[in-house]
Chains A and B, each alone.
Chain A
C-alpha cells in the first residue's frame, strides 16, 4: 500500500497570498496517477487536479499541480476567499487507492 504524507497539516495565509501544498508518497506513483481534491465542510470532495498536473473541468488556472515519482505539489497562486478549505492528495495508480491525511488552508 502506498502511504501519502501531506505537509503542512495546516497553512495559515491571507487572501491574495500563494499556497504551496506538498504530498509525498512512500513509493513511486504509477503513471503519475496523483489527484488533488478540495473539500469544504459538509460537502463532498471536488476534483481539482488529475494526472499530477492536469486541471479538471472548470477549475480556475490559479490552481496548478506538479511532480512525479514520489513528490507532488499543489500551488494556489493567489488565494481567493472560496479557496479556504481542506485539500487531499490521492493516488489512483495502484490498489488500494490511498489518500493523504489532508492540509487545511485557513485564513490568517
Chain B
C-alpha cells in the first residue's frame, strides 16, 4: 500500500525559499501512469492545489503560484519535492503530498492517497 510522508522546516522567514520533501513507500515514484502533487491548506481554511508532476516528468502548476513554484522528483530516492520562493505569511499552510493516476484507458482518478501533511509557518 502506497504511503506518503512529508518533511520540511516548519518555520521559514519571509522572502526565503520553502523546500519540502515527500518520501514515497510501498511503490515506485516512477511507475507508469502515476502522478504526484502538492495541495496546501492554510490554517482554518480550504484546500488549494499547488503543483503536480507526471510519471514522465511533465509538470503542472497553479497559475497563482507559477512564477514561484517548482516541483520535481528524485527517482533514485523515491522522493517528491516542492520549492516555493519569495514566501510570505500567505504561504503559511499545511502542505499535503498526494498521489493520483490514470488507468490504461486514460481515465483519471483523483488523489486517494495523501500524506499526513506538514505545517509550514512563514514568520520572522
Q: Which positions in A face B, CB cutoff 8 Å? A: 1, 31, 33, 35, 37, 44-47, 50-51, 56-57, 88, 90, 92, 95-102
Count residues of B near A (Cβ-Cβ below 8 Å). Answer: 21
Which B residues from 58 to 89 make CB contacts under 8 A with A?
60, 62-64
Which B residues from 85 to 103 make CB contacts under 8 A with A?
96, 100
* CB pair B49 A98 closer than 8 Å: yes
Nearest chain B residue, comparing its CB with the CB of A96? B62
Nearest chain A residue, comparing its CB with the CB of B49? A97
9-residue interface stretch from B13-21, B25-33, B113-121: B113-121
* CB pair A44 B110 closer than 8 Å: no
The verdict on A1 contacting B108 (CB below 8 Å), with A45-B47, A45-B114 known, is no
The verdict on A102 contacting B63 (CB below 8 Å), with A47-B110, A56-B112, A92-B110 known, is no
The verdict on A33 contacting B108 (CB below 8 Å), with A95-B60, A99-B49 known, is yes
Bound state CA distance, A90 and B96, in angstroms?
A: 15
Q: Which of A1, A50, A96 contacts B110 (CB 8 A)?
A: A50
Q: Which residues of A contact B112 (CB under 8 A)?
A: 47, 50, 56-57
Bound state CA distance, A105 and B107, in angstroms?
A: 31
User: What are 26 A-to-B residue pairs whose CB atoms are below 8 Å?
Assistant: A33-B108, A37-B47, A44-B116, A44-B117, A45-B47, A45-B96, A45-B114, A46-B114, A47-B110, A47-B111, A47-B112, A56-B112, A90-B47, A90-B110, A92-B100, A92-B108, A92-B110, A96-B62, A96-B63, A97-B49, A97-B52, A97-B62, A98-B49, A99-B46, A99-B49, A101-B46
Bound state CA distance, A100 and B48, in angstroms?
A: 9
Q: Which of A35, A44, A92, A100 contacts B114 (CB 8 A)?
A: A44
Rounded to whole Å, the gap between the CB of A105 and the closest CB of chain B is 15
* CB pair A88 B115 closer than 8 Å: no
Rounded to whole Å, the gap between the CB of B66 and the closest CB of chain A is 9
* CB pair A33 B49 closer than 8 Å: no
Q: Which residues of A contact B62 (CB under 8 A)?
A: 96-97
